[in-house]
């Protein structure tokens, strides 16, 4: 008789969704719910919706609260080790706050 008592108990998590740390709230989350900001080798900072651009990247939730926190703590600047240009800030605003359900009723069915 085989001893199978030890099998099946382990629940190894598949690494299907790579997790990134939000520069705002500091929580790890899947890339899909986050926005990537990238600084390329020329020092050009831009948003990277595809997540495929080469360079140093920082991730932030697509949430106004995380953007605010990141801005307050200068987390993006620190993560990318450079100043965030105004146009990129504007793009972040548009992308995150613009797409958020601002002022929308908390629940709709």
Which residue in the set 24, 36, 37, 80 belongs to the binding site for Zn ion (CB under 5 A)?
24
Cβ atoms of 45 and 38 closer than 8 Å: yes
Q: Rule CB under 5 A: say whether 100 interacts with Zn ion.
A: no
Q: What is the smallest separation between the CB atom of 54 and Zn ion, expressed in angstroms?
A: 24
Which residue in the set 25, 47, 91, 100 belongs to the binding site for Zn ion (CB under 5 A)?
25
The Cα 1–Cα 45 span in angstroms is: 63
Size of interface with Zn ion, in residues (CB under 5 A): 5
The distance from CA 6 to its chain's CA centroid, rounded to whole angstroms, is: 38
63-82 residues in contact with Zn ion (CB under 5 A) are 66
The Cα 4–Cα 82 span in angstroms is: 56
Cβ atoms of 47 and 91 closer than 8 Å: yes
- For 97, the enclosing helix (H) or strand (E) is none
Nearest residue relative to Zn ion (C-beta): 22
Q: What is the smallest separation between the CB atom of 31 and Zn ion, expressed in angstroms?
A: 13
The residue among 74, 58, 71 whose CA lies nearest residue 97 is: 71
Q: Rule CB under 5 A: say whether 97 interacts with Zn ion.
A: no
Q: Rule CB under 5 A: say whether 35 interacts with Zn ion.
A: no
Chain residues that interact with Zn ion, rule: CB under 5 A = 22, 24-25, 61, 66
């Amino acid at each position: 008789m085989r001893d199978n008592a030890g099998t099946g108990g382990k629940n190894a998590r598949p690494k299907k969704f790579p997790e990134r740390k939000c520069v705002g709230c500091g929580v790890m989350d899947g890339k899909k719910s986050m926005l990537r900001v990238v600084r390329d080798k020329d020092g050009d900072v831009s948003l990277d919706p595809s997540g495929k651009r080469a360079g140093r990247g920082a991730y932030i939730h697509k949430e106004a609260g995380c953007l605010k926190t990141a801005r307050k703590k200068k987390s993006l600047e620190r993560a990318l080790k450079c100043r965030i240009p105004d146009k990129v800030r504007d793009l972040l605003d548009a992308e995150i706050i613009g797409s958020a359900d601002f002022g929308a009723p908390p629940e709709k069915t």
